[in-house]
Amino acid sequence: MAMPEAPATPSSSSTPMRAASWALATSSSSDGNLRFYTPPHEWTGDLDIQDGFVGFQMNNGAIFNPTGKIYFGDPTLTQTSAVQMRIENRYYGNNNIGIDSPNMDLTVNRDIVVRDNIRQTVSIAAGYLPTSGTIHFTNEINVGNGSSSYVRFYYEDGTNTATSTYRYQLDPDLVGHVQETVFDISGNIIGSNSIVIDANNYGVYPDGPPVGAGALFIVLLRGDNSGYSGLISIGNDSGATYNPGRNSILRIDSATALGTNGAVGFRNGGTLQIAGNSQTFTGNFLYTGKSGLETTAGIENASDTAVTITFDSGTKMGPSYQDVGVGLRNGVAPGLFGGGSASLSVVKIGVGDTVFGASTGGGGVADSFSSYTGDTLVQEGTLFAGSNNSFSPYSRFIVSNGATLSPNWNGVGFDVTIGSLVGVAGSAVDIDQSTLSIGGDGTSGADFAGVISGLDTFFYKVGGGTQTLSGVNTFTGYLSVIQGALIGGNDSAFGDSSNVISLGGLPDLSNGLLDAKVELLLAGTASAVVNPVSMNNSDGNDEGITVIGTRETSGTYGFATGGTVDLYQDVSTNVFFEADGASTFKFGDAVRDAGSFAMSNVVKIGAGTVELHVGNNYGLIGNAGAAIDGGTVIRHGTLSVFDDNALSYSVVEMGDTRYDLSSAYLATTGSLISKANGSYDVAGDGAGGAGKGAFLNVNALVDGVAITAADLGKRILVKDESTNPEYNGVYQVVSVDATCGQMNLVRVSDFDETTEMRYGTSIAVTNGTTQAGLQYFQASSDVASVNTATTDPVHWLQDVPNANVALLAANGGMNIFNDIDVNDTNGSGSTILGGTFTSGTSYLNGNVTLQHSTLLGVDNVRELTLVSSSDEDAVVAGEKGLVFSGVISEAQAGDTLSVNKQGAGTVTFTNDNTYTGKTTVTEGTLALAGAGAVSGTSWIEVNNGAAFDFSNSTAGDITFDGPISGSGTVVTGADSLIVGTNGGLGVLSPGMSSAPANSSTAGDGIGLLTVNGNVVLTGDSSGVDRLTLQMGATNGADYNDSSNFVAHLGAGDFSSYLSSKADFFDTQTGGNYDHLVVTGSFTMNSGAHITFTNKGGLDYQPVVGDVFNMIDWSSVTANGFNVGGAFRTSGLLGDLALPDLSLSSGLLYDTSLFTTYGIVVVVPEPGRLLLLLFGLTTLFCGRRRRR
């Protein structure tokens, strides 16, 4: 039967109703309509609605006298017409203006009984409320049993008929507001008839949003409904077009709200809200609306309390599975319930099967079906995806031992995305013929140790977070890292060895991003992965960055034979090879540029070692030059090569581009923008004005530190905006709202322009719980347009301040032809070039050049450390260990490159190296062979135990016109070391320097310098120091023979005595002063000064009888060398300067042994000799008397 939808004329009877019971009945061919305009509070009889319509129009308060009940249904069980009781707002007369009551609150305070076995639809309804209203049902509701129809909780507000007389039946200013109508049912529900929650919100705004938008009908169940065993259907719309005006919400607030079966059905727009009450369900949740509109229905938390839904499948398997046919969401509570949006978590228990979205999933949109953010715990049995995208892409799925997660159900594989994946050994994920995308939650720390299996699979790492696979996986198919980091924990982590790991998207599918950070990392026991890697094939990550390596700080990881790395890149970009701490990462097979226009440069980062084991073909060929643009760049740590062509044809850059920024107070550890709060204004300043980009209303908690008003102006490094990496950068705090814990940030003025946002920009972080003390650099290319999506990301990687950079040959027998540019951009860190092999000889044939840099803070003064562990000869005599056949030099005059030889082996130069800095031999041997020379070096220093060897040089004698210092050995062979030129400043200064970078300190320490060969001290017309010896502070002499000296001086035979002791004195070398030992000939020339100094008496003061065995030689030639007299004073006399004697008056030096033995002794002047003789006589006589 049809019922009028508009308010009716009040009844003509105004007689109060008291004890009698009333029944409204009509024949099958007529309608009945009874309306109450005032509450029947005095009526204690029953209301029996057998047919037709009963309406109550009032505003607030209890509707009934609580005595009596309300019955529904035809007792004869013959009627099929609908029965309805509807509560409406009170109107003025018969017009269409309702009384304005903003929040109506009415109570149905009687038991409601629906007769069993009726054939009628029973509607308990409300309608036409101008704003929000709550109708309380405080008493028991018996929905009956055995009926062929159902009981409907219903709300309507207008009709869906464009020409309906009643479409605008109420004043449009009062109807269709964003309203919430709540049926608050605290009474218990019993019976088994089906319940349908239905809405018809068709009120409209004048010139406002679409019909029904924003209006909510909510049924809240708070009673103990354990006596109910029927099906509750949420929504009653199965139309082909989604109509928000038909949305219905069932909100439950008790453990038994859904009855004993807990069966719930959903139609278009139906929502179940569990309202902060964790629940366990054993029944099904079926969608029966229109196919294609499944995503309009769902289960939500919708409260400010995080909750868990547990699905218990029991033993249901196969066709009797537990069916969850609608999606799950966090949801937002309606306004009347506080608007909370806390997380929803899911637990799957029971050894049977639970299926999400059995044929009713989200289609092609990952989060349109389920979007909850809490964890999903698969503790028992199997959790299946029954359709595409039926899992939440924001949930971490945690699979227990013995449990299984699978997107393949009933033999059909589906496409699903999950937030992240965790599982212990014994857990399983079956992706047979399916697509599994992991990473939608953007988090890190997820590790799956179970087994991922399946044939013909697609496995994707998505989102900006990190996912570890530490289980032995067996799946075969396609594997791609589209965004974020995928970490393999063992050699089989990436499934079958035939699986190609595609970085940046799969070829030809165009599913990659243009501006992503893509990382493939190894950990655990992953030391010999054989899966091939293909980067950016076809649709590449052209604007983003790619990292391959490890972030472990110890251990060895990498690829074995078969694990090739193919780099497809049609624009110049950087690929980062990373090894952190003391770890090693090896590439056991080829790294190749694979595309027709490929030119991918490789940048080594991290303090650890990356090994290239075979010949490679990557990067720009290029030429050495000032620009840091070589195909191989070492920004941090060590690059070790095992093959002649490991470095391809690239120029190697030792040291990378670097621009230093003022430090940041904090650095982010995740995105500032979430679904709950935060936005970005690409053209704002965070304070309502124009600017270069600002974060608005983001969480004021960064890396565990709460930002307050006291932090205004402080700098924050934003580095984790993976969805919009163009937003990354350096910001400052503009404002903080302590009431909601939110803040606004704006880009800092020194990092908001394209001229400032450049590759290599580095910034330190000073505070935070995890980021304090770390440093980061911009790893993406220079920004061409600020805040431009897809083309100008700002990606950051961890930097190593003052990093050591090293290029090392790992094998003997190698010939490496790459040019090497040395860049003075790594601060106080070392620049190391050499080899680690212990036998054999390898050659570095390219030129090594200190390139001139104009970067701020760079002084273009650098020491190059050369290392070798091998002394083995090559085919060519004298070419030992690591041989440099190219030229080591500076590109620009005025810049200074020094060389420091370290390691126990030999480094050999076979070309004339023109670098102008110091040459230091700290360990092992630095050798010159063939045409090898160091003609440009300004200073040579050889440490104790080390050697500078030019015995195999074809240049003959070596003339050096700078200081030669140290305590080691210079080897000349048959040739001579010629110290200085006429007018030059060449000088031998035994002893190490106190300031190794300051030549004025050359030899200011005490030491023994040995020359295995010949030495010539070149004369100078004006006289110049050619050998300087420094006295120590104490115990200066090699020997003291004072008593014999005095006695023989008194006896007059001192000269013959001294000659007789010369050979003995020549064996004494224990004095605390510099010594020179020459194993060959030693030539002293006139004007070639030998200076022995005690700093004007500040150091040791010689005394009578001191013997100084200054120089040892095999033979000596004194070409006019003037010792200043046989008996002489201190200072420079002739060509010999001797230590100051001013504090010990009456002493002289005897130099008679100097030109034959290199010895001087200290004797008394004749006047002092008498005193000494008298003292000795007195002492002698005294001794005789005591006898």
Q: Which amino acid is at 841?
A: T
CB 928 within 8 A of CB 905: no
1112 CB-near residues (< 8 Å, 6+ apart): 1066, 1069, 1075, 1076, 1077, 1078, 1158
**What pLDDT is stored for residue 1179 in this prediction?**
42
Q: Where are the alpha helices (DSSP H) in 1029-1076?
A: 1042-1051, 1054-1065
What CA–CA distance (Å, rounded) separates 17 from 412?
65
- Indicate the SS3 state at residue 1059: helix
Rounded to 10°, the helix 1054-1065/1042-1051 angle is 150
At residue 366's C-alpha, the angle toward residues 364 and 368, to 5°, is 90
**What pLDDT is stored for residue 205 in this prediction?**
36
**What pLDDT is stored for residue 968 in this prediction?**
98
H/E stretch holding 437 reads: strand 435-438
163 CB-near residues (< 8 Å, 6+ apart): none
What CA–CA distance (Å, rounded) separates 198 from 238?
11
Q: How many CB atoms lie within 10 A of CB 1180?
A: 9
CB 850 within 8 A of CB 862: yes
To the nearest 10°, report the CA torsion of 857, 860, 861, 863. 110
What CA–CA distance (Å, rounded) separates 1095 from 1118?
26
H/E stretch holding 460 reads: strand 457-461
Burial of 207 from C-beta contacts in 10 A (0-12 / 13-18 / 19+): exposed
Segments of the chain with pLDDT less than 70: 1-31, 90-102, 130, 158-178, 202-214, 508-510, 538-539, 569-573, 595-598, 1167-1187
H/E stretch holding 1155 reads: helix 1154-1157
Tokens for 723?
């969805």
Alpha carbon of residue 1133 to chain centroid: 70
Tokens for 975?
């040739």
Beta strands in 191-319 (DSSP E): 194-201, 216-221, 231-234, 248-252, 263-266, 270-273, 279-281, 285-287, 298-300, 307-312
Alpha carbon of residue 330 to chain centroid: 28
Q: Where exactly are the structural domains of the chain?
A: 1-273, 659-799, 940-1187
717 CB-near residues (< 8 Å, 6+ apart): 664, 666, 667, 668, 730, 763, 765, 776, 796
Tokens for 963?
């200081």
**What pLDDT is stored for residue 14 in this prediction?**
39
What CA–CA distance (Å, rounded) separates 189 from 223?
7
**What pLDDT is stored for residue 1124 in this prediction?**
96
Residues paired with 70 in a beta bridge: 47, 112
Residues paired with 266 in a beta bridge: 234, 287
What CA–CA distance (Å, rounded) separates 928 from 939?
16
What CA–CA distance (Å, rounded) separates 1144 from 450?
87
Burial of 186 from C-beta contacts in 10 A (0-12 / 13-18 / 19+): middle
Burial of 606 from C-beta contacts in 10 A (0-12 / 13-18 / 19+): buried
Residues paired with 1087 in a beta bridge: none
**What pLDDT is stored for residue 877 in this prediction?**
84
Q: How far is CA 627 from CA 186, 818, 894, in A?
A: 77, 16, 18
Q: How far is CA 872 from CA 837, 842, 869, 882, 950, in A?
A: 10, 10, 9, 9, 16
**What pLDDT is stored for residue 1156 in this prediction?**
96
What CA–CA distance (Å, rounded) separates 1177 from 1181?
6
Tokens for 681?
């204004």
Burial of 954 from C-beta contacts in 10 A (0-12 / 13-18 / 19+): middle
Task: Specify the pTM.
Answer: 0.89
Sequence length of the chain is 1187
Burial of 1062 from C-beta contacts in 10 A (0-12 / 13-18 / 19+): middle
